[in-house]
């Protein structure tokens, strides 16, 4: 090709990068290889930031975290077949969680794959991706790149956000187009996240039902955080005195220390509420599907959701409000101006009394100087650091007890500052989320995980070091899955299925890549070392040594873990120590 032709022709990698950037996408996370290596290099050269990850699932999780935090999709890039398959669980997690993300997968030559001729890493990736995302699209012609990217951005962003897969076959990668035609074809969606107000009739019906309630309750889900509706929700709570229960990633939409919060008396609030306003929260497994324990058998529900298919998903919804949360809350606040209502002092008093009693009960555990440490006093020490730096610190959290107890102990005061496994409950997302949060916001990030959860995605500490990201990794090590004192019921001498290396020094991993490592065995050391690591703004790692007996099997979801009888001994009895006896707190 002559120099003159080079100046008038563009190719697929350049055109795809240009289309992504025209849609406001600046960050790409991935693992390169055939056939997308040159695309990553070209995109980087054109001004996109490329973050090379160590595993495709982590790349998708990082991009999804950016989508959640910045309200626009980022891109995850995978190679063909095995790399693509590695990204699918995270693709589905993003869709279930409502995080906008676009995964671009390089794939093998279409006509060979379609006839099953035995192509290198041949796989119908577009077909495989369909059940895992909102839409799965293939780019067969360079001319269609603007359309494919615009559709991907729109679908990922509109309604309930989620994941979109774009398939990029190797024969498409090699295509070219004149620059004049490329420029003429380039376009972006005008309004990929349109507001969708609910009907006025549903607003009136919701207010009528709330005014009848003796014990009204608002449940705030992460949909409210995704919708950026914190101003409107705080206004509604201030006007009505309605108590609220925050779901995990909705913490901070209203500050956790707000006196209307029921987080410290969740069972009492859910069990006594007679009318519940669901704001971006789904009646899924995390809320017992809205029936049975802990719910009042006569409870009635008002549900605000942008997805009409979510209404009546698990039980009857008395008042559906289908629309975006910000518009819905603005309309509810407007209705309050016309006819105010407030929750009763008796109901608020009951909530506050129970909450204060529970806080006092757990405060002693969080302040304990017991060594070896429990999750409670280790996290209590870390919470002091988070409280001092919460204005500029994002939390990524995963594990069993490390997740459940952290959720309850570390308070959120700002929205979208907490990332965890969310609706689907998947481990192995935390380090990817931490990297995405650091890249997307430029803020410092505190990762807290258990030793088991960290093992899924721990190699990403190298990525944090390579890109000099301000992430402090904290691993709570109790030497096992749930806890480290399970015993092998057999006679082969192997560790139990739940046993990990209690004597490990995880902090040395980051030292191998140039980061700072710390090892803490007391609450005082934990607080001091996490403080030092966070303040450094460098990639750092604090290994926090817990007692082997610290933790509960399955965390807070033991009901999902059946207890078959093993011989004459129930599996629930197969532990060397009971935590309550071993901890002696």
So what's the pLDDT on residue 265? 96
pLDDT value of position 581: 36
Mean pLDDT of the chain: 93
* 17 or 108, higher pLDDT: 17
Provide the percentage of residues in the chain whose pLDDT is more than 90. 88
Residue 584 has pLDDT above 50, yes or no: no
The average pLDDT across 39-50 equals 97
Residue 316 confidence (pLDDT) above 60: yes
pLDDT at 500 over 60: yes
Q: How deeply is 106 buried, as exposed, middle or buried, from its count of CB atoms within 10 A (0-12, 13-18, 19+)?
A: buried
List all residues 6 or more positions away from 208 whose beta carbon is below 8 Å from its beta carbon.
none
* Cis preceding linkage at 372, omega within 30: yes
Predicted local distance difference test score (pLDDT) of residue 6: 60
Nearest to 515 by CA among 452, 464, 563: 464
Predicted confidence at residue 2, as pLDDT, reads 57
**pLDDT at residue number 573:** 44
Q: At 576, is the pLDDT very low, low, confident or very high (cuts 50, 70, 90)?
A: very low
Write down the pLDDT at residue 122. 82
Is 102 within 8 Å of 135 (Cβ atoms)? no
pLDDT score recorded for residue 302: 98
The kind and range of the H/E element at 176 are strand 176-178
pLDDT at residue number 174: 92
User: Is the per-residue pLDDT at 152 higher than 50?
Assistant: yes
pLDDT at 574 over 60: no
- Residue 572 — pLDDT band, cuts 50, 70, 90? very low
pLDDT in tens, 353-369: 999 999 998 999 999 99
pLDDT of the residue at 575: 42
Whats the size of the chain, residue-wise? Answer: 585
Taking each helix axis from N to C terminus, what angle separates 401-409 and 345-367, rounded to the nearest 10 degrees?
A: 120
Least confident of 112-121, 249-258, 486-495, 509-518: 112-121
Q: Examine the pLDDT at 5 and tell me if it is beyond 80.
A: no
- The model's pLDDT over 259-313, given as tens digits with 9 standing for 90+, comes to 999 999 999 999 999 999 999 999 999 999 999 999 999 999 999 999 999 999 9
Interval 204-229 mean pLDDT = 97
Per DSSP (E only), the strands in 327-412 are 393-398
In this structure, are strands 244-246 and 216-220 parallel, antiparallel, or unpaired? parallel
111 pLDDT band, cuts 50/70/90, is confident
State the average pLDDT over residues 480-507: 94
On whether the CB atoms of residues 453 and 397 are closer than 8 A, the answer is no
On the question of pLDDT at 577 being above 70, the answer is: no
Chain centre distance of CA 303: 22
Contact between 386 and 410 (Cβ < 8 Å): yes
pLDDT at 4: 54
Nearest to 91 by CA among 165, 167, 155: 165
Assign 476 a pLDDT band (cuts: 50, 70, 90): very high
All domains of the chain in start order, with CATH: 3-185 (3.40.50.970), 200-353 (3.40.50.1220), 368-583 (3.40.50.970)
pLDDT band at residue 113 using 50, 70 and 90 as cut-offs: confident
Confidence of residue 3 (pLDDT cuts 50, 70, 90): low
């Amino acid at each position: 090709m002559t120099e003159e032709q080079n100046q008038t022709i563009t190719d697929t990698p350049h055109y795809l990068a240009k289309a992504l950037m025209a849609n406001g996408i600046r960050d790409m996370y991935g693992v390169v290889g055939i056939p997308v290596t040159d695309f990553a290099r070209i995109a980087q050269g054109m001004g996109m930031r490329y973050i090379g990850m160590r595993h495709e699932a982590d790349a998708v999780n990082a991009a999804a975290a950016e989508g959640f935090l910045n309200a626009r999709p980022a891109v995850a890039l995978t190679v063909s077949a095995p790399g693509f398959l590695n990204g699918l669980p995270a693709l589905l997690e993003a869709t279930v969680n409502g995080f906008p993300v676009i995964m671009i997968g390089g794939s093998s030559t279409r006509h060979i794959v379609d006839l099953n001729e035995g192509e290198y890493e041949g796989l119908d990736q577009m077909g495989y991706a369909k059940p895992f995302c909102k839409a799965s699209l293939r780019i067969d012609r360079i001319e269609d790149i603007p359309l494919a990217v615009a559709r991907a951005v729109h679908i990922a962003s509109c309604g309930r956000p989620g994941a979109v897969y774009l398939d990029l076959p190797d024969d498409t990668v090699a295509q070219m187009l004149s620059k004049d035609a490329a420029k003429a074809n380039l376009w972006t969606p005008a309004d990929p996240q349109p507001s969708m107000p609910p009907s006025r009739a549903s607003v009136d019906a919701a207010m009528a039902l709330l005014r009848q309630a003796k014990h009204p309750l608002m449940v705030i889900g992460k949909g409210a955080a995704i919708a950026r509706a914190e101003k409107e929700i705080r206004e509604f709570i201030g006007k009505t005195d309605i108590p609220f229960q925050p779901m995990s990633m909705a913490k901070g939409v209203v500050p956790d220390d707000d006196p209307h919060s029921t987080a410290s008396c969740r069972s009492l609030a859910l069990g006594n509420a007679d009318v519940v306003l669901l704001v971006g929260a789904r009646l899924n497994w995390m809320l017992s599907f809205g029936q049975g324990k802990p719910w009042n058998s006569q409870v009635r529900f008002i549900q605000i959701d942008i997805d009409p298919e979510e209404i009546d998903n698990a039980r009857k919804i008395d008042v559906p409000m289908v629309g975006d949360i910000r518009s819905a809350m603005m309309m509810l606040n407007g209705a309050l101006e016309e006819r105010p209502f407030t929750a009763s002092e008796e109901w608020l008093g009951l909530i506050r009394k129970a909450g204060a009693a529970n806080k006092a009960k757990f405060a002693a555990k969080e302040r304990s100087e017991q060594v070896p440490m429990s999750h409670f006093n280790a996290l209590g020490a870390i919470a002091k650091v988070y409280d001092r730096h919460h204005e500029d610190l994002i939390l990524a959290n995963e594990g069993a007890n490390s997740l459940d107890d952290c959720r309850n102990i570390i308070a959120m005061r700002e929205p979208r500052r907490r990332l965890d496994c969310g609706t689907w409950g998947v481990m192995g997302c935390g380090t990817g989320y931490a990297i995405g949060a650091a890249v997307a916001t430029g803020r410092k990030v505190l990762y807290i995980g258990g030793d088991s959860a960290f093992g899924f995605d721990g190699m990403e500490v190298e990525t944090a070091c390579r890109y000099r990201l301000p992430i402090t990794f904290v691993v709570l090590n109790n030497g096992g899955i749930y806890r480290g004192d399970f015993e092998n019921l057999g006679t082969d001498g192997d560790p139990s299925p739940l046993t990990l290396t209690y004597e490990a020094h995880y902090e040395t991993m980051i030292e191998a890549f140039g980061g700072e490592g710390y090892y803490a065995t007391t609450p005082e050391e934990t607080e001091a070392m996490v403080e030092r690591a966070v303040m450094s703004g460098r990639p750092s790692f604090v290994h926090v040594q817990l007692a082997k007996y610290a933790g509960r099997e399955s965390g807070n979801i033991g009901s999902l873990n059946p207890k078959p009888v093993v011989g004459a001994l129930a599996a629930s009895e197969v532990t060397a120590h009971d935590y309550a006896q071993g901890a002696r707190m």
